[in-house]
Amino acid sequence: APIDPMSVTFQPATGGMNPSGPVLSRRMSDLEGLFADTAAWQEARDGADPVVYEVASSPVPEAPGELPQSITTIHPGTVGGEFHMTKGHQHPNPQGEIYFGLSGTGGLLLFDGTTPKWIPMAPGVIGYIPPGWAHRSVNTGDEPYRFLAVYPGDAGHDYGWVLEHGMGWRVRRGAAEPQLVPFRSE
């Protein structure tokens, strides 16, 4: 059933929402197969197994016609030189999605199966994900990178697509700027 008009208050210190729907936490152990350096990933998993990112959702349901929102916080860090990132997904019912940078520095990596694109993200930047583009977020800074996502409630989430096709590039720490390297170079 559709829900009533409502507002949600963003909690800048934590990336939480009030009122809130489910909050999801992804630890290193949840991210098998993501990072190119498997040995470095195993070491982090078997050690502190840190939380890499968290996703807070508004109470708006993932239902046709609705526009659910979520706030993702990616904690800073690297695994074998590769920046902390989200799993990344494709929307099986292809529709656009909007990201809005809230704090920290990061980027939006998009891939249509042929051509990768990189959108640098910072507070105040709107990143647009057109229908059919897989997307992954990356924290390229030294503080938490946080953004709001708004997406159609019937878009769905396909995580297998990225595991199968990759994302075109990997994003590594460089001397000054983040380095975009071919996905399958290692």
**Binding map of Zn ion across residues 80-109, x = CB under 5 A, - = no contact:** -----------------x------------
Instruction: Rank residues 41 and 90 by Cβ distance to Zn ion and give the closer one.
Output: 90
Instruction: Rank residues 67 and 176 by Cβ distance to ligand S6P and give the closer one.
Output: 67
Instruction: Rank residues 105 and 137 by Cβ distance to ligand S6P and give the closer one.
Output: 137
Phi-psi region of 158 (alpha: psi -120 to 50; beta: other; left: phi over 0): beta
What are the residues whose beta carbons fall under 8 Å from the beta carbon of 110, sequence distance 6 or more?
A: 116, 117, 118, 119, 129, 133, 134, 135
Q: Which amino acid is present at 118?
A: W
Q: Is residue 127 near ligand S6P by the rule CB under 6 A? A: no
- Partner that binds at residue 127, options ligand S6P, Zn ion, none, CB closer than 5 to 8 Å by kind: none
The four Cα atoms 121, 123, 124, 129 give a dihedral, to 10 degrees, of 30
Q: Is residue 137 near ligand S6P by the rule CB under 6 A? A: yes
How many C-beta neighbours within 10 Å does residue 54 have? 19
**Candidates 27-35, 83-91, 163-171, 173-181 — which segment interacts with ligand S6P by CB under 6 A?**
83-91
Q: Is residue 101 near ligand S6P by the rule CB under 6 A? A: no
20, two tokens: 């809130």
SS3 state at 182: strand
CA distance 81 to 99: 25
31, two tokens: 């991210």
Instruction: Rank residues 3 and 67 by Cβ distance to ligand S6P and give the closer one.
Output: 67
CB of 88 to ligand S6P, least distance (A): 5
CB of 149 to Zn ion, least distance (A): 6
Interface residues toward Zn ion, by CB under 5 A? 97
Interface residues toward ligand S6P, by CB under 6 A? 55, 70, 72, 86-89, 97, 135, 137, 149, 151
